[in-house]
Amino acid sequence: MRVRDPAAVNLQGVFDPIALPGTDAERLLIITFSPGCPICAANQPFLAALARDLKNGRGYRVLWLSRDSIKVTRQHCERNNIPMEDVMAEAPIRTYRQLGLDAVPQMFVVKSGGIIDRAWNGRLNAEKLAEISGYFHTNLGARTFSSGNGRRYAQF
C-alpha cells in the first residue's frame, strides 16, 4: 500500500502537505487517534514513549494525526504533553480514506515513495507490544496486566 499526497491542518490552522520520507534512510511514523477514543487513551503512554525514542536520532519523524477538530485536538495535546509541532488534524477526505481515519487508533511506518512498510491498529495488547518493540528494536519497559476477561494489556 502507498500513501499519495497526504495533507492535513497543523495546529496553527494552516493546511499543509504531509512530507513523506525522501530517502531510504528516513521513515515517518504516523499515529492516528481521536481525543475521545478510550483505546487511543489506553495506547497513548506507550506511543508517546515510542515517539520520543524514535525522534531521538533514529531516522524517524513522528506525526500524530487526529480525526477531530483543531480545537479539540489542541486541547487534548496540551493536557497530554504531545508536542504540538508533531500534530495535525482535519485531514481532507483523500487522506482520511487512504489512512482509514474512520477507525482509530492506527500506526503506519511510511518509507520513501509513500510506501507503507508496516501498520498496526487497535488496542496494544502484549503481543502487539512485543511485535512493535521488535520492529523498532526498542524496549520501553512495558509491563502487562490482566483485564479480568483473560486478555492481557500493556501498562506503564
According to CATH, the superfamily of the domain at 25-124 is Glutaredoxin (3.40.30.10)
Tell me the average pLDDT across 131-143. Answer: 73
Tell me the average pLDDT across 81-105. Answer: 90
Whether omega for the bond prior to residue 105 falls within 30 degrees of 0, making it cis, is yes
Spans of all domains in the chain:
25-124
User: CA nearest 68: which of 99, 35, 39?
Assistant: 35
* pLDDT confidence tier of residue 122, bands split at 50, 70 and 90: very high
Percent of the chain with pLDDT over 90: 63
CA atoms of 138 and 155, how far apart (whole Å): 16
Cell of 86: 508533531
Q: Residues 40, 104: contact at Cβ < 8 Å?
A: yes
Question: Does the pLDDT of residue 151 top 50, yes or no?
Answer: no
Question: Does the pLDDT of residue 31 top 70, yes or no?
Answer: yes
pTM: 0.86
